[in-house]
Amino acid sequence: MAFWRRNTHIEKERRVKANAWDYNDKFSYADNRIKTSKYNILTFLPINFFEQFQRVANAYFLVLSILQLIPEISSLSWFTTIVPLVLVLVITAVKDATDDYFRHKSDQQVNNRQSQVLLRGSLQNEKWMNVRVGDIIKLENNQFVAADILLLCSSEPYGLCYIETAELDGETNLKVRQALTVTSGLGDITKLMNFDGEVVCEPPNNKLDKFTGTLYWGGNKYPLDNDKMLLRGCVLRNTEWCFGMVIFAGLQTKLMQNSGRTTFKRTSIDKLMNTLVLWIFASLICMGVILAIGNTIWESCIGRNFQVFLPWEGFQSSAVFSGFLTFWSYIIILNTVVPISLYVSVEVLRLGHSYFINWDGKMYHSQTDTAAEARTTTLTEELGQVEFIFSDKTGTLTQNIMLFSKCSINGQTYGEVYNEFDEKVEITEKTACVDFSFNPLCDRKFKFYDGSLVEAIKLEDPTVQEFFRLLALCHTVMPEEKSEGNLVYQAQSPDEGALVTAARNFGFVFRARTPETITLYEMGQAVTYQLLAILDFNNVRKRMSVIVRNPQGKIKLYSKGADTIIFELLDSSSEALMHTTSEHLSEFAGEGLRTLALAYKDVDEDYFAVWTKRLLFASTVIENREDQLAVLYEEIEQGLKLLGATAIEDKLQEGVPETIACLNRANIKIWVLTGDKLETAMNIGYSCNMLRDDMNEVFIISGYTLLEVQQQLRSAKEHILGVSRVISAGDVQMKDVTADDVFEETLIAEYALVINGHSLTHALEPQLEHVLLDVACLCKTVICCRVTPMQKAQVVELVKRHKKAVTLAIGDGANDVSMIKTAHIGVGISGQEGMQAVLASDYSFAQFRYLQRLLLVHGRWSYFRMCNFLYYFFYKNFAFTLVHFWYGFFCGFSAQTVYDQWFITLFNIVYTSLPVLAMGLFDQDVNDQNSLRYPSLYKPGQQNLLFNKCQFFLCTVQGVCTSFLLFFIPYGAFSVMVKEDGSHLSDQQAFAVTIATSLVIVVSVQIGLDKHYWTAVNHLLTWGSLTVYFAILFAMQSDGIFGVFPRNFPFIGTARNCLSEKSVWLVILLTTVVCVVPGLVVRFLRADLFPTLTDKVRHLQQSRKRDRPQEKNLRRVRRTSSRRSAYAFSHQQGYGELITSGKNMRTSIVSSACSPERTPNSWIENVLKRKNEVSCVSDKSTEAPESDKRAKQTPE
């Protein structure tokens, strides 16, 4: 819809009536046409150019181009600025047009899809864009859903249908949707035509997992939730047909509401470049003012004496006005100090660096056929500056593949293996598994090692049977039996799948379900339970319950959830068992297992009847429906009897401890933000070597009030820094600790901070957040547990706001999306929890261990290349442009140019663009193996050492000096130089060619010296560009082209005459040597006398290409703790309401150490020996000196 017709009314609620177009049209709801394209044929040029000229650089060059059209102030032809500007505008416009063309094609393809709409008593094919709110449409198997529709009925029993939501959240597993019972019978066209129900619901929004509404039909009202809705973008699967009523259409569908722009992330290099460009603009104005003043003085004192043959123009009334015109003339001439090609080149480099990430075979995961993907091209160099990593635990550090490991039933633990001496035996791959052959429906992949649990099942222990009965009943798993006995469980979380599979193998097989029943095979006998209610899991309740009626007619409530929650709901009769089970939970926690407590109760028939009526009323309320349901759920869950607890193992991913250790040595701080319980998070920390027994102190912040949290944080800071470093107790704001003090403290001792979710809520308050940040930054390891997705984002935002550091967030689930979007860089892991994190991320791959390669190799290289590129780019443009400034003092400040105008036009886009791009794309100081072997090489990026304001100042000085030499050496030589025949060689054109040639050679030699890594492409582009310069030079100053364009190519024969003189080449050689040698000497002495770690590693790399350092693996530390483990549950709400509210079922190592070996004797080696030769991977290792000595004693 056009913007001038867009409805600005804010919709507070939506009313939609079926088959009532006149009624629905009153509300002016959006039609179903979508438009994601930005332009059309008429608007493309004006809108695109308007957008491009919103960039300051483009607007600046446009103004310069306009100024060049004024002959009174322009000494350059229009094409010197117009050609580069037009080139940039055209390239950008073509890119934008191509992108928008594909958007147009996509829009057209989607809008023209066919849908069957119920019109005038029959189904008619209509284009999607013609579908309106209130229409009843028919979907068939494998069709996309045209709009957000309320499911009315389907071909499946009880109004069931299956959908795939890959376009919404990236998940390919099927989800079930359920029609209301009262509408599930509307499968006949006549009934659908007579359907006149009205839906009152929430206004359009972007919440994919939530819908609240009520259907009014036949004098009754029925509650609607998200499980009754089919959203646009979903695909109907395994369902022959279904009918639905359109609620939201077009741009108001939830899919389109979620298609807003992601926040644009800018790198620190971008911000620095903007500042530097402003500085350059300021210096450009200063130079223009200086030269304008010089022109005014010259015209006043000297110029007026030459008016006989150099008369002033008619408009030039005074010397001051002449200076004013000269100011603008020099602004035009000197504008190349900030070339427009800089911005294009930076984008090309970032695109190339992104492709290198995509093409890296060492970040490819063959098991899942997943390659690394750079989903953005704007952040590559930022990867080389990361100081803080915020990581999820489950699925990120761990595999998120859950295995039923142990359990506690009625005070007895199961899962350990003992030998004949009653000693505990470690379980390995060779340990014999329990034989489940007694159960024909068992899962052959399931492994368990404690045979006593099977014996207890066979002895029909009632508590053990009730334990597994609960696991088989209390869940929202969907069964699918592909063939007789071949069961496949579709679980919303890996935890639930593991528990139901365990029950299946121990003889309680979840076989089938309908919306009202659950069928189990208990020890081979089919038993059907009537499903009365599901009290679903959410992040507040942290538990789920089911209420069923068993074959004996008794009503049972089965519940599973976090032990802290379940224990609060227990009956007093379970107190003794609770203490015993709590001890078992502590044992499980020592191994980092995820736990759930299990409990049940008998429900009185009369009480349940009353409770059901209250539940039905609460489920139809629009306002605060969830709160009222939560109160009812908690009421009926009181007085539970404890059965026991389960323990699920979530194994670490391959290479996680080594990766974390490597990143720590790169001075990257890793904070773990997890929804798991404190004890499990800590034990995973020990497994990852983030927490160690030799740490000085592990501070646990678990206060429930603001005052308690404040006191605990203050105590921790006092312990680390000493009481004298903290001010009075009444002041929450702590003294700032200098970087040197913090560095010294962290060298002396190592600390860790573990903080709980409820404590973090208080710690993030404005009056405490500074204290939290101070303590956390003084600790080597930070673990935040029991945190919500919003708290994850708040922690990231806290560090971003108060620390000048680059942050990276990595996760694999929907609960990680908020922190991924908040951090400077977001990384998604394609794991077991869908693709939401990947879709929201900037970079994605399959395993956490690839993070070290992303940062230490690609990130460091990208930062190194970008910094070298910028340094060289600014240097060559200062050297190129400032020659005009020096020349101004010798040409009467007349704004005459030194170079030929075509040279000015082509210098940045032809002569020097490709070599600097090649350096920015392919250069590397050390190879990838050494980048990983010596993580400390990453630190310069964190400290922003390679390109900053100081480096910019140095490159400016170098460029100014080079321009000075480029001008004055030829100037001095030409004043005394003659040709071989004795004639003078002092014309301006020969002078210009000499300086231009010297400039191109100097910058080409300089880039050759600046490169650390030569490839065939580098050679071709560097020396090829130099060859192209001479080819174009002789072509453009030839007789032939002058004959065709005499006005545009005035330098006829200059190159031929000038460059044929030996003295000219001697001047060029002298200029090149004088410009290059000083910088070469400084670099040589700096590398030999004050070598950086990079210099040392490059020296070793060059001298030891054949011998690789000896590697040793990190020793993995295991921890046994008495701390409690976490509950094992999904982070998202389940399908409980869906199952009970309708008929929902068919009836059927990179870390290594090295010791440098003996290298050939040289004076360079002797200098390096005095300056701390490269040590092993851990720069602070005490073993390094000994290994160095041993290496030097070993002959080659």
- Determine contact, residues 405/647, Cβ cutoff 8 Å: yes
Given a contact cutoff of 8 angstroms between Cβ atoms, the answer to whether 571 and 600 are in contact is: no
Residues in the chain: 1196
Beta strands in 703-772 (DSSP E): 751-755
Nearest residue to 70 via CA among 275, 287, 327, 244: 327
Tokens at residue 29, please?
Answer: 């709801």
Residue 1172 is which amino acid?
Answer: N
Q: Are 364 and 372 in contact (CB under 8 A)?
A: yes
Which residues, at least 6 apart from 351, have a Cβ–Cβ distance to it below 8 Å? 377
Catalytic residue status for 392: yes
Task: Kindly list the distances between the CA atom of residue 398 and the CA atoms of 651, 773, 821, 1093, in Å, as whole numbers in the listed order.
Answer: 5, 27, 22, 34
Nearest to 1047 by CA among 82, 69, 73, 77: 77
Give 956-979 as a DSSP string: HHHHHHHHHHHHHHHHHHHHH-B-
Residues 6+ apart with CB under 8 A from 96: 38, 39, 48
**500 vs 404: CA distance, rounded Å:** 10
Question: What is the DSSP pairing of strand 122-127 with strand 160-164?
Answer: unpaired
Helix axes 1062-1089, 988-1010, angle to 10 degrees: 30
Structure tokens at 382: 């930022």
> Beta strand 386-391 with 669-673: parallel, antiparallel or unpaired?
parallel
Cα separation of 200 and 182, whole Å?
A: 17
Longest distance between any two alpha carbons in the chain, whole Å = 124
Strand partners, 248: 148
Q: How do strand 213-217 and strand 697-701 relate by DSSP bridges?
A: unpaired
Catalytic entry in 148, 227, 360, 392: 392
In single-letter form, the type of residue at position 453 comes to: L
Nearest to 570 by CA among 509, 643, 628, 497: 643
In the numeric block, which tokens belong to residue 434?
Answer: 């329990």
What six digits make up the tokens of 45?
């040029």
The secondary structure element, H or E, covering residue 22 is: helix 21-25
Name which of 534, 540, 590, 541 is nearest 558 in CA terms: 534
62 alpha carbon, distance to own chain's centre? 36
Secondary structure element (H or E) that encloses residue 1188, with its range = helix 1184-1193
| Cβ(770)–Cβ(346) below 8 Å | no
Q: Which residues are catalytic?
A: 392
